[in-house]
Chains A and B, each alone.
Chain A
Amino acid sequence: MGKKILLRGSHVIAEAAVRAGCRFYFGYPITPQNELTEYMANALASLSDGVFIQSESELAAINMVIGVSMTGRRVMTSSSSPGISLKQEGISYLSGQELPAVIINTMRGGPGLGNIAPSQGDYFQATRGGGHGDYRTIVLAPGSGQELADFTRMSFEYADRYRIPVVILGDGMMSQMMEPVAFPDPIDPKSLPQKPWVLDGAEGRPSRIIRSLILDTSAMEEHNWKLFRKYEMIEREIPEVELFLTDDARLTVIAYGTASRIAKGAIKRVREIGLKVGLLRPKTLWPFPKRNLVEMSRVVTDFLVFEMSTGQMLEDVKLSLEGRRRIHFYGRPGGIVSTPDEIAKVINNIYFKEGLERE
């Protein structure tokens, strides 16, 4: 771990990717994440084994990712909401072909062209697979500059370990914000373990095929169950949360990414007037940290889901708690970034309406 440096979020992701041994980046310009693409252009140009292509479209970029991933090398692409929609074709193929890849989504307001302001409207798309077919992608939601670095490193590890596309879900706030960050030591891609399934020419060995076409229905079913078993394993192994002031909490706010930062500010404010409120922040959105929530629901009666959308993670909270506790929701879509005071008022209203101030 090096010493801390001040860097904007999109540069943190890019630097962390290079340090994770990623030498291949393909992308198409889209705001608000162009700084990431530009950083990769610079960083990879200065490395003898670096390859950067500004592709003609997001479709081309994700398919170049497929090509590199087939050779076993670490590879990344990035975009923002409308561009991520275009990449869904390739993400579905990566999933079917069990190829590792890292995909950064700097979410913006939508649907359609929407705007370029911070939003969390792509939660459904990211956590439900996103493209066609019966699959999931790992979805990580960093909440600070340091986590942008740590989660980027982790995303490459997960992608290789599980042979799965990993999505990092951020927004314009996360990618523009500058925070002090300490990076892990760089990995030399040559030092990474060889993958036994790659395409590199069938010299002295049987030929290999990487495909997602499985015409035989029984074989296709077995492939789907194989993926499902992998997803079950991931659900057991990697869900992660941050708990903030939850020990004595009577109301727990659930928020991720930028919304969790705002929620923390709000919680500090209401704590000053004695309200017992905490935060549960999912770091993994898929797998959703269901068990942590269920655990907490044994002592907490009220949950407030706060999202920068009209309510998407809300569904996972409801599915996790299965009607056992009161679930409140507050959301602002369209690129509106709520203030801590605004959320403090929401918390305050719920707290007294539900009588949580009473012993």
Chain B
Amino acid sequence: MKKVFGRPKNLKDAVFHYCPGCGHSIVHRLIAEIIDELNIRGKVIGVPPAGCAVLAYNYFDIDMGEAPHGRGAAVATGLKRSLPDRIVFTYQGDGDIAAIGTAETIHAANRGENITVVFINNGVYGMTGGQMAPTTIIGQISTTTPGGRNKDRDGVPIDLSEMLAITNGTVYIERTAVDSPKNIIRTKKAITKAFRVQMAGLGFSLVEVLSPCPTNLKMSPVQANEWIGSKMTTHFPLKVIKDTVGKL
């Protein structure tokens, strides 16, 4: 019998700690597949965030160095400047990258650090139990916005990817989602391209992935995916935000 589907080589034989329906498991798998396909295990160094995905190193069979909350881009800068021929990526949630780590991210992008960022946007602080995130959408209920996010009190969700796009050092930024098979395939293509941008030495690349957090949205996995398509994408449209590279 021919094997048509299996565990990616660079995904350890471990059970994910993520909740049922969580998008992290999908994106982890995609990244492991990409590392396999690009054959870069021996060159890649990953930087996990603080947040649910801090344990990413329990799953990826690659070198990984943990960054303090939000400082992924600064740690990655140090790694990449020390080893310019290695492939350095950070894996960061919305709170990590778009709240506490905004400064490190914008300046690494503006310097054009030749690193790749996988930005998981699920609109909520997952690990700490469902507080308002910088990307929580207007009206969305969280444990710290019990009546829904209010524009006047809480501000509007921050468009970090668009902000990064206007800096000179970024070359490729795309927003995708993992709410459907079609979008999962699109996400894999985008992350692959982001890695290839770095391998070609072209500059800062980032893929923002809208990702379901059913537990903290207090929805079923199916409802959470539907919520991404019907609500989240109205504020965060899926699109190529910046591409100065073209075809690779």
Contacts and interface: CB of A to CB of B under 8 A. Distances in A.
A63 B108 CA distance: 12
B71 A59 contact: yes
Contacts of B43: 201, 203
The SS class assigned to the B binding surface is mixed
Interface stretch (A14-22, A116-124, A204-212): A204-212
Interface in B70-96: 71, 74-83, 86-87
A344 interface: no
A298 to B, nearest CB: 47
A138 B4 CA distance: 56
A202 B103 contact: no
Contact of B103 (A57, A68, A73): A57
Interface in A24-74: 24, 26, 51, 53, 55-57, 59-61, 63-71, 73
B68 A93 contact: yes
A358 to B, nearest CB: 59
B62 interface: yes
Interface in A184-216: 199-204, 207-213
A220 to B, nearest CB: 14
Nearest to A205: B42
A67 B62 contact: no
A211 B74 CA distance: 16
A95 to B, nearest CB: 12
Given A56-B104, A60-B104, A63-B71, A202 B63 contact: yes
Interface string B190-224: 00000000000000000000000000000000000
A53 B71 contact: no
A126 interface: no
Interface stretch (B53-61, B133-141, B172-180, B231-239): B53-61
A26 B44 CA distance: 23
A207 B63 contact: yes
Given A67-B76, A213-B54, A202 B42 contact: yes
Contact of B77 (A53, A201, A207, A211): A53
A69 B111 CA distance: 21
B41 interface: yes
A157 interface: no
B64 A209 contact: yes
A75 interface: yes
Contacts of A73: 82
Given A67-B76, A210-B65, A204 B42 contact: yes
Contacts of B226: none
B33 interface: no
A30 B37 CA distance: 47
A59 B102 CA distance: 12
B79 A71 contact: yes
A60 B78 CA distance: 10
Contacts of A203: 41-43
A83 B89 CA distance: 28
Nearest to A90: B68
B68 A89 contact: yes
Given A53-B81, A212-B66, A202 B61 contact: yes
B64 A24 contact: no
Nearest to A67: B78
A93 to B, nearest CB: 5
Contacts of B74: 55, 59-61, 63-64, 66-67
B183 to A, nearest CB: 29
Nearest to A70: B65
A97 interface: yes
A75 B78 contact: yes
Interface string B23-48: 00000000000000000011111010
A293 to B, nearest CB: 37
B114 to A, nearest CB: 13
B78 A199 contact: no
B186 interface: no
Given A70-B75, A93-B68, A208-B64, 8 more contacts: A60-B103, A63-B75, A67-B77, A71-B78, A73-B82, A200-B45, A203-B41, A213-B54
Interface of B: 41-45, 47, 54-55, 57, 60-68, 71, 74-83, 86-87, 103-104, 106-107, 111
Of all A-B residue pairs in the complex, the 3 with the closest CB atoms, nearest first, are A67-B78, A203-B42, A63-B74
11 contacts: A53-B111, A56-B104, A60-B103, A67-B77, A200-B83, A201-B43, A201-B63, A207-B63, A209-B65, A210-B65, A211-B57
